[in-house]
Amino acid sequence: MPVHGDSSDRCNNDNTVPSSSIDKQFLAAPIKRAVDKYQLLPEFLKMRGLVKQHLDSFNYFVNTEIKKIVRANNRIVSSIDPSIYLRFKDIRIGEPSVTVDGVTENLVPQTCRLSDMTYAAPIKVDIEYIHGSHGHKIRSEKTDVFIGRMPIMLRSCRCVLYGKDEAELAKLGECPLDPGGYFIVKGTEKVLLIQEQLSKNRIIIDTDKKGNINASVTSSSETIRSKTVIQMEKEKLYLKLNVFSTKKIPIMIAIKAMGMESDQEVVQMLGRDPRYSALLLPSLENTMEFSTNRLVVKSFEMYVSISSSFIPCTELVIVCFNFKCAKEGIYTQEQALEYLLSKVKNFNCPSSEKDGKVIAIFKDVFLANVRVRGNNFRPKCMYVAVMIRRIMDAILNKDAMDDKDYVGNKRLELSGQLISLLFEHLFKSMITDVRRAVDHVLSHRSRSSRFDFSQLLVRPIITDGLERSLSTGNWDVKRFKMHRKGMTQVLARLSFIGTLGHMTRILPQFEKSRKVSGPRALQPSQWGMLCPCDTPEGEACGLVKNLALMTHVTTDEEEGPLITLCYALGVEDLAFLSGEELHAPDSFLVVLNGNILGKHRRPQAFASAIRTLRRTGKVGEFVSVFVNEKQRCVYIASDGGRVCRPLVIVDKGVSKVKEHHMKELADGVRTFDDFLREGLIEYLDIALYEKDVEPETTHLEIEPFTILGVCAGLIPYPHHNQSPRNTYQLCRMDTLLYLLVYPQRPLLTTRTIELVGYDKLGAGQNATVAVMSYSGYDIEDAIVLNKASLDRGFGRCIVMNRLSAINQKYENNTQDRIIRPDREGSDAARMQVLDDDGIAAPGEIIRPNDIYINKQSPKVTKGPPRTRLTDSDYKPSYQTFKGAEGELCVVDKVALYSDKTNNLCIKFLIRHTRRPEVGDKFSSRHGQKGVCGTIVPQEDFPFTERGICPDLIMNPHGFPSRMTVGKMIELIGGKAGVSCGRFHYGSAFGEPSGHADKVEDISKTLVEKGFSYNGKDFIYSGITGCPLQAYIFMGPIYYQKLKHMVLDKMHARGSGPRVMLTRQPTEGKARNGGLRVGEMERDCLIAHGASMLIFERLMVSSDPFEVQVCRVCGLLGYYNHKLKTGVCSSCKNGANISTMKLPYACKLLIQELQSMNIVPRLKLAEA
């Protein structure tokens, strides 16, 4: 397993103790007793919630990040008169509210959902600004100036739901189990998905397509984001930076431009290993003239050998460096800068000086994460040297290559970060906008007008920008070169688990279309962080991932104190070290968040010191320390977006969490935080059971099933299934039913189910399943259902549909009206569902073509304002219900609200109760879906002597190829469960810890209750009454009804609508389209010689059209109705016209070709 930055602390698990010594050590080890650490989990989730990552990140943004952004851009200075300025002193986000007609009202999420509003809060700033008139300026201050509205994440610290208990939530119309973590934008719930990114500010070594080794750093600082690449091509090192027009800049020129003119210094910075120097040689040559003789090279080699052998030989060095003359003639910083200036592309730089430009690039763009004080580029040179060293390590030893797919090299961007990016962009745009406006005012100022800066601040940029991005999901931030689509999705509300699963989903950084296997493969480093099962099938397979149950995503932490701490713990500052010293064999580089702090001589001691501080709570719990022996570095990370998870600390082979701790937890004296604070548990990025703890073990897993995500946790015994089956199941998860009439709690539960509350919001039923073949209607995974079970409510579900209507206002002061229905007239029958107010009444049964709103619109809606309209000025514009025939729907709810433009809107919720029918889809929890093949009355169903009759019969052929042993265990576990009255458990990997019942124990229970140990029963046929020859495997399995129901798909048509353009029948069920006889069907008919059928299908029943064809020119003419004859428009006569039938699409093609200057001519022959 690769060891890297964030998998810190995992030092010695990979080398197991040699077997000979085990016994001794085992005997010497203290006696351990297994402590049930499971209780930590509910405690953890109580503290953290299931979507904490989103909430944390948003809270961080709202409380900290937003202030930082404003602090970094706090001045708007007029470019005309620099003394006129505006300064932002503070920024804060208020309570969610909305202002309509000057009245501010507090907002509640439920009202936003119902009335298509955005759940947002005002952003308020405190400002200090200059205003005044007639040339004399006054400085004044203002507080709580409104600059825009920020959409608020539900249950975040700015949300009204924050910290509310169940009763209060119910009062606000919120479900207490709803996790929050999403936004409501224009009435739809939007999730800002977690984005996966390559980590910022870290050196990543990899190869490009040509096999060249690259060291790349994606830098990100408050002001700029840039990517710096150093590439080894044909043994020479180049710098790639996209502000330079030439793709490649020799690295030595760049180094020289930064003021490190001496090659010796460069070589020294790489350390004294001759291998490195040898590799650097070709790059140095780049700056040497090729014509210079071998002597130079030779002397250089001499220098190398001398310097590596520790004999200072300055004289010789000087000689050889004097000899050399650069190929480009570049020896000094000035020359380098000049050379580079010619390569600079259009780069907007505040300082217009020539030299300044390149210097500015090196200061701000090149390795932007490394900060430069004054013009001291030494830290950047050092950084470059480290990059080059890493490249050379990679050349000498392929292992040093970084794995881009490694989770430690990934950062997760959460909603807070994404919103902050967007906000920063919008805020800056607003500032430029305001500046422009100020300049405009100042330049055309009539002396008398008063000038007030603060008035200009009110702009819709921020409000609109945030709302637009969230509702479309497009993050177009040009400033940061970010153009991403599909960042937000409508929250999946089909099932509770679907919702949760949606919140933990991680979107990939790559496009889905790329045919690469690497990023899709399951990474060993995903262990415990990302769910190994939960990924979609198809193109996004392996790219879209889900968080595991206990994963936490970190937020940024203050670096300042950490840096001070590091220096206090004996890190030697980079600034005082020479290159030679930096790479001394006994020292390790200390790297904090990608920045080199300096070196340390005793890395392990340093790392453990930080660890101790972390465990005592002196340093943030998410700070990670890791000693990389290979790279001779100590990595410390405190940046945001790292994935981590809590583990129990093991000290000298003894778990720190003891029984009394757990007892205190159970008594409620202790919380999860106490465990953290007392250093019993810590967050880590990696031994399993206590009995496996060896003296080298440093950490202990809390529970093994936490490696799975929320969704995968629902599957009982997933470790007994073939792994793709689990994945299939998860894909199915979000396609759950709409609303089940009698939901049940699964008989075979898992700990995860209890933890996430699925037992409170079930989505399926425990069906007694007989695994046997029956009736032949059960082939290909079809299932046979018991009619009596359906009568009693099995699989019954409610489908909800939403209709809406707007009472529109028009520009001429008129508006639609809703009137009392006509109880007598011809439409009376269709208006039965209407109340006297002309709107459908809740509880009414509504049939297809029924009018649900009796609306009328004015005939004239434009022009001058009109008043006093009479009945005759209106035309009916009622809306009719378009349900399928034979569907019995009921109006469930009617909601009235006003939209943004103050129009009255009416929303209807239509409900339809459905019982399962042939063709509806069902699925167990093991990726085994099946459609209902037939429904059989109860008396025909097989029965046992006890009188048990199955609800559902499943064909045994579903088992062998799918190998879903978990399903079989679920069956017998469920059977034992019902017979003994205890819910059985099937948590993943739960057998050793007692969170899953063993088959042996289940069998024992079965035998106790008089069943066969193997779950099979002796069964009689319901049709003949004779016993069946085989014993039948029978018991309860949790089944879910899927949303694919026949009623939604069933479709046929006779004649119907046609497409305007081609006059062919429309396509698709929604448009009442026809069923296409496609190419293949056509081929089939041709093979049969069924020409008349083809003619009928493709022409007569599709788009027949009569055309006038000129026999002379072969072009299409037209029919002149006055003359009652066809006329050819090119021959200008009607003499040689024939009438024929063509498909309209053919005529269209001919005309389209004509429009492109191609003349298709028809040659007619007598037939």
Q: Which residues bind other proteins (CB under 8 A)?
A: 741, 787-789, 791-793, 796, 798, 843, 890, 892, 911, 913, 937-939, 943-947, 1006-1007, 1010-1013, 1017-1018, 1020, 1022-1027, 1031
**Structure-token match 């300026």, residue found:** 137
**Structure-token match 């964030």, residue found:** 6
> 763 near 733, Cβ under 8 Å?
no
- What DSSP letter does each residue of 417-486 carry, written as one string? HHHHHHHHHHHHHHHHHHHHHHHHHHHT--TTS-B-GGGGG--SHHHHHHHHHHHH--EEEGGGTEEE--
Three-state DSSP class for residue 622: coil
By C-beta, is 416 or 973 nearer to other proteins?
A: 973
DSSP category for residue 159? S
Shortest Å, Cβ 1034 to other proteins: 13
By C-beta, is 898 or 913 nearer to other proteins?
A: 913
CA 710 to the chain's CA centroid:
15
| Nearest-angstrom CA–CA distance, 329 and 344 | 19
**Structure-token match 């079930």, residue found:** 762
Q: How many residues does the chain have?
A: 1167
What residue spans of 198-262 are helical by DSSP H? Answer: 251-257
The residues, any chain, with a CB within 8 Å of residue 111's CB and separated by 6 or more, are 117, 897
> Roughly what angle, to the nearest 10 degrees, separates helices 659-666 and 40-48?
50
In Å, the largest CA–CA distance within the chain is 115
By C-beta, is 338 or 917 nearer to other proteins?
A: 917
By C-beta, is 211 or 1010 nearer to other proteins?
A: 1010
Shortest Å, Cβ 512 to other proteins: 41
E-state strands within 571-642: 572-573, 588-592, 595-600, 624-628, 633-637
| Nearest-angstrom CA–CA distance, 40 and 784 | 44
By C-beta, is 911 or 967 nearer to other proteins?
A: 911
Shortest Å, Cβ 735 to other proteins: 24
Shortest Å, Cβ 1083 to other proteins: 43
By C-beta, is 562 or 891 nearer to other proteins?
A: 891
Closest by CA position to 313, among listed 301, 323, 303: 303
Half-sphere exposure of 1080 (CA within 13 A, CB side): 0
What residue spans of 1059-1156 are helical by DSSP H? Answer: 1079-1088, 1091-1095, 1144-1155
| Nearest-angstrom CA–CA distance, 37 and 993 | 9
Helix (H) or strand (E) segment spanning residue 506: strand 505-507
Task: Put residue 813 in one of left, alpha, beta given phi > 0 → left and psi -120 to 50 → alpha.
Answer: left
Shortest Å, Cβ 911 to other proteins: 6
Shortest Å, Cβ 974 to other proteins: 18
By C-beta, is 656 or 914 nearer to other proteins?
A: 914
Shortest Å, Cβ 1026 to other proteins: 5
Shortest Å, Cβ 938 to other proteins: 6
Shortest Å, Cβ 924 to other proteins: 24
- What DSSP letter does each residue of 1145-1166 carry, written as one string? HHHHHHHHHHHTT---------
By C-beta, is 768 or 928 nearer to other proteins?
A: 768
Shortest Å, Cβ 1018 to other proteins: 4
By C-beta, is 800 or 1100 nearer to other proteins?
A: 800
Closest by CA position to 777, among listed 930, 656, 563, 1003: 930
Three-state DSSP class for residue 358: helix
Question: Which pair of tokens denotes residue 505?
Answer: 């989903």
State phi, psi for 100 to the nearest 5 degrees: -120, 125
Shortest Å, Cβ 799 to other proteins: 12
Query: At residue 106, what is the residue type?
Result: N
Shortest Å, Cβ 1017 to other proteins: 8
By C-beta, is 778 or 1017 nearer to other proteins?
A: 1017
Shortest Å, Cβ 880 to other proteins: 23
Start-to-end CA distance of the chain, whole Å, equals: 79
DSSP category for residue 518? T
By C-beta, is 751 or 911 nearer to other proteins?
A: 911
- What DSSP letter does each residue of 41-101 carry, written as one string? HHHHHHHH-TTHHHHHHHHHIIIIIHHHHHHHT-EEE-SS-TT-EEEEEEEEE---EEEET
By C-beta, is 709 or 977 nearer to other proteins?
A: 977
By C-beta, is 509 or 1012 nearer to other proteins?
A: 1012
| Nearest-angstrom CA–CA distance, 980 and 589 | 63
By C-beta, is 636 or 799 nearer to other proteins?
A: 799
By C-beta, is 451 or 1011 nearer to other proteins?
A: 1011
Shortest Å, Cβ 975 to other proteins: 13
Shortest Å, Cβ 788 to other proteins: 4
Shortest Å, Cβ 793 to other proteins: 7
Closest by CA position to 1098, among listed 1087, 1086, 1116, 1115: 1086
By C-beta, is 798 or 931 nearer to other proteins?
A: 798
Torsion sign over Cα 357, 363, 365, 366 = positive
Query: At residue 269, what is the residue type?
Result: M
Shortest Å, Cβ 945 to other proteins: 4
Helix (H) or strand (E) segment spanning residue 856: strand 855-858
Torsion sign over Cα 638, 151, 161, 842 = negative
Closest by CA position to 70, among listed 120, 126, 14, 119: 126
By C-beta, is 654 or 741 nearer to other proteins?
A: 741
Shortest Å, Cβ 1016 to other proteins: 8
By C-beta, is 1011 or 1038 nearer to other proteins?
A: 1011
